[in-house]
C-alpha cells in the first residue's frame, strides 16, 4: 500500500474523507432573523397573541407553495339566442383578446364582464351522435357517437377527476323528473353508466364537512387571525412591510405575495371572500340549511311526485344552495372536481321571475315557451349581408336571453365573484382561488329554436355556436381572456359548419389541469390555449 493510501486511511481530515456542508450566507441569515423579529414585534403591537405573531413572522421567509387545481363543470339547458350571446369583438375582429361580454343586446354572458381576464369563449365546435336535439345531452360531454343510453362512456369531468386521482362530486338541482333519471337527465357518465346527481345539498355538505368542528383550535384560530390582521394593516404599514421583505433578494418570500394580494384587495375596497376561507372549521352555509329544514320529514309517495328536490317551486333555492356548497367546496378543496346540473333538458319551468316583457316569445315556460321561439330577421338583412348577429331582431327573443343570462348571474354572483376575491387557503403565493380553478359552462344545443349542435350560419348570415365557456386560471395552466373561433364557410350558396369536435376543448381543458385525457373523436388540443 502506498504512503498516500496509508495517509488516506489513517487521517480523518484527509480531503477524501471529509463531507463538506456549505455554510449559510451569514448576511442573508442575519437579514432573515432581523425581518422575522421586526414582524413579530409589529404583530404584537397589533394586539395579536404570540403564536399568531410568530406565524406572521415566519411566513416572511417561507417559500411559497403551489395550490391544487380545481374543476367545475356546469350545464344550463336549452341553448341560447345567439343575438344575445355572442361576444362583441373589438376593432376588425382579428384580435381574439379584444372583446366585450356585456355589449350584445341582453348580453347572456354580461355578468362575466368584470372577470373577463379569466374567460375564454369557444366558438365553432360540435359533438357527434344520433341525437340532434335536447337528447344530445347524453353525448355532449363524452364525444360518444351513439343513440342509446346504455353504451358506456366517460364525460369530461370524470376523465379529469380520474387523471387527478379523485372522486368527482356530482350535484343536481331538479336535474331529472321525480320518478327517475331518464334520457333528458343523463349528462354525466362515469365510464360505465349515467350518474344520478346528488340532489340534496345538505347531504353533500355533511359528507364533505361532517368531520369538522365549529370551534377552531388555537392554531386554526391563528390562521384566521393572521389573515384578519394583514387586512387590518394600514397602507403605510403594508408598504413598510413590503420594503422589509424585498430586502431578501435571494429568497422567494411567501409573505411578499400575501402582502401584494392584501394590498390589491384593500385597493379594491374590501377583502371579499367567504369568511372562513382557512377551511379548518365547519362552514356555515345559510341556503344549504334552509333546504335542510324545508326538506326534513317529507315521506315520499310511490311515484316520488312529492319529492322536495324535484319540485319546480323549490328549484331556485336548491340551485342557490348547490352553488353555495360548490363555492365552499372549491375554496376548501373539499371536492377537487365538481359537476353541477341545474334543470334537465326539456324542463318547462316558469321563468317569469326574470321579469320584463315577454316580447315575441311563446310563453314563460323555459323549454317550449322561451327556447322554442324562433329568431326574426331584420327586414334589410339578406344572404349577401355581412355575417353578424345584427341581422336578427333583438326584441324577439329578449325574454329567453334574460332567462339564460340568469344562470350566468347566479354562477357569477355565488361562485365566480367569491373565488376571484378569496385568497387561496391552500396556496402561499398570494393567488386567489379562481386563479387555481377552472370552470366550464355549456349547454346541449346552440340556437334554442334550431337545435344546432355546431357553429353554422343561419339565414340570413347570422352566426350561431354551441355555447362553450371556460372561466379561471387552472393554476396558470390556461391562457385566458380570449375568444377562440373556428371559421364558418360564408359562401352564400353553400354555407357550411365549422367542424372541430367539442372533445378537443375538453382535452385542452384537461391538459390545462395537468391531465392527459383521451376522448373518442378528438383531433388534439387547441393551439394557444394551454399555457
Kind plus residue range of the DSSP H or E element containing 469: strand 468-471
- Please state the rounded mean pLDDT for residues 84-94: 95
User: Mean pLDDT, to the nearest integer, of 427-437?
Assistant: 90
Burial 379-418 (b: 16+ CB within 10 A, else e): eebeeebeeebbbbbbebbbbbbbbbbbbbbbbbebbbbb
Confirm whether 220 is domain-assigned.
no
* 282/209 Cα distance (integer angstroms): 6
**HEC per residue, 267-327:** HCCCCCCCCCCCCCCCCCCHHHHHHHHHHCCCCCCCCCCCCHHHCHHHHHHHHHHHHHHHH
Q: 3 lies in a domain?
A: no
Predicted TM-score (pTM) of this structure: 0.80
How far apart, in whole angstroms, are the C-alpha atoms of residue 529 and residue 531? 6
CATH (domain of 149)? 3.40.720
How high is the mean pLDDT of the chain?
A: 84
* Grid cell in block for residue 120: 375564454
Residues of the domain holding 185: 70-199+308-512
pLDDT for 275:
34
Which pLDDT value is given to residue 489?
A: 60
At 322, phi and psi to the nearest 5? -65, -45
With respect to residue 432, please indicate whether it lies within any of the assigned structural domains. yes
- Give residue-wise pLDDT tens across range 184-220: 999 999 999 999 999 999 999 999 998 665 544 444 4
- Tell me whether residue 49 is in a domain: no
Contact 479, 531 (CB under 8 A): yes
pLDDT band at 140 (very low <50, low <70, confident <90, very high): very high
Instruction: Write down the pLDDT at residue 205.
Output: 96
Q: What is the structure's pLDDT at 148?
A: 86
- pLDDT score of 25: 54
Q: Is 486 a domain residue?
A: yes
Domain-embedded: residue 47: no
With bands split at pLDDT 50, 70 and 90, how would you rate the model's confidence at 301? confident
Higher pLDDT, 234 or 138: 138
Q: Which of 167, 163, 168, 143 is nearest to 153 (CA)?
A: 143
**Residue 465 falls inside a structural domain:** yes
Average pLDDT (449-465) is: 88
Q: Which is more confidently placed, 492 or 297?
A: 297
Q: What's the number of domains the chain is made of?
A: 1
- Tell me whether residue 499 is in a domain: yes
Confidence of residue 428 (pLDDT cuts 50, 70, 90): confident
Give the whole-angstrom CA distance, residue 115 versus residue 268.
14
Amino acid at each position: 500500500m502506498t504512503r498516500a493510501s496509508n495517509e488516506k486511511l489513517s487521517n480523518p481530515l484527509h480531503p477524501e474523507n471529509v463531507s463538506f456542508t456549505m455554510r449559510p450566507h451569514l448576511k442573508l441569515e442575519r437579514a432573515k432573523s432581523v425581518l422575522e423579529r421586526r414582524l413579530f414585534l409589529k404583530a404584537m403591537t397589533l394586539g395579536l397573541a404570540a403564536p399568531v405573531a410568530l406565524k406572521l413572522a415566519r411566513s416572511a421567509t417561507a417559500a411559497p407553495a403551489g395550490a391544487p387545481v380545481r374543476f367545475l363543470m356546469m350545464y344550463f339547458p336549452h341553448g341560447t339566442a345567439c343575438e344575445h350571446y355572442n361576444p362583441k369583438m373589438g376593432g376588425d375582429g382579428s384580435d381574439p383578446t379584444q372583446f366585450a361580454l356585456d355589449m350584445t343586446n341582453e348580453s347572456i354572458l354580461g355578468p362575466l364582464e368584470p372577470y373577463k381576464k379569466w374567460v375564454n369563449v369557444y366558438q365553432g365546435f360540435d359533438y357527434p351522435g344520433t341525437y340532434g336535439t335536447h337528447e344530445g345531452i347524453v353525448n355532449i360531454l363524452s364525444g360518444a357517437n351513439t343513440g342509446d343510453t346504455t353504451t358506456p362512456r366517460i364525460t369530461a369531468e370524470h376523465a379529469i377527476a380520474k387523471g387527478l386521482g379523485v372522486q368527482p362530486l356530482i350535484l343536481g338541482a331538479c336535474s331529472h323528473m321525480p320518478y327517475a333519471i331518464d334520457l333528458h337527465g343523463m349528462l354525466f357518465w362515469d365510464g360505465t353508466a349515467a350518474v344520478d346527481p346528488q340532489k340534496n345539498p345538505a347531504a353533500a355538505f355533511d359528507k364533505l364537512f361532517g368531520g369538522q368542528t365549529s370551534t377552531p383550535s388555537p392554531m386554526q384560530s391563528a390562521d384566521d387571525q393572521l389573515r384578519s390582521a394583514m387586512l387590518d394593516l394600514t397602507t403605510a404599514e403594508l408598504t413598510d412591510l413590503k420594503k422589509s421583505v424585498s430586502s431578501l433578494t435571494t429568497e422567494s418570500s411567501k409573505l411578499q405575495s400575501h402582502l401584494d394580494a392584501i394590498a390589491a384587495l384593500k385597493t379594491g375596497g374590501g377583502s371579499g371572500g367567504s369568511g372562513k376561507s382557512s377551511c379548518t372549521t365547519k362552514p356555515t352555509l345559510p341556503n344549504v340549511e334552509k333546504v335542510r329544514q324545508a326538506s326534513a320529514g317529507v315521506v315520499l309517495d310511490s311515484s316520488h311526485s312529492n319529492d322536495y328536490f324535484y319540485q319546480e317551486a323549490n328549484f331556485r333555492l336548491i340551485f342557490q344552495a348547490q352553488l353555495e356548497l360548490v363555492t365552499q367546496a372549491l375554496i376548501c378543496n373539499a371536492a377537487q372536481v365538481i359537476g353541477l346540473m341545474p334543470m334537465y333538458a326539456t324542463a318547462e319551468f316558469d321563468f317569469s321571475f326574470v321579469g320584463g316583457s315577454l316580447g315575441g316569445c311563446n310563453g314563460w315556460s323555459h323549454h317550449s315557451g322561451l327556447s322554442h321561439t324562433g329568431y326574426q330577421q331584420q327586414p334589410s338583412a339578406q344572404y349577401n349581408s355581412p355575417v353578424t348577429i345584427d341581422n336578427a331582431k333583438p326584441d324577439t327573443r329578449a325574454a329567453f336571453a334574460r332567462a339564460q343570462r340568469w344562470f350566468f348571474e347566479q354562477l357569477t354572483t355565488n361562485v365566480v365573484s367569491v373565488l376571484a376575491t378569496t385568497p387561496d387557503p391552500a396556496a402561499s403565493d398570494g393567488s386567489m382561488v379562481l386563479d387555481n380553478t377552472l370552470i366550464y359552462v355549456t349547454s346541449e344545443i346552440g340556437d334554442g329554436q334550431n337545435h344546432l349542435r355546431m357553429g353554422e350560419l343561419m339565414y340570413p348570415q347570422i352566426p350561431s355556436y354551441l355555447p362553450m365557456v371556460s372561466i379561471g386560471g387552472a393554476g396558470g395552466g390556461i391562457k385566458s381572456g380570449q375568444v377562440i373561433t373556428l371559421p364558418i364557410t360564408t359562401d352564400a350558396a353553400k354555407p357550411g359548419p365549422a367542424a372541430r369536435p367539442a372533445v378537443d376543448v375538453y382535452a385542452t381543458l384537461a391538459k390545462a389541469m395537468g391531465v392527459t385525457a383521451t376522448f373518442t373523436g378528438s383531433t388534439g388540443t387547441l393551439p394557444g390555449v394551454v399555457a
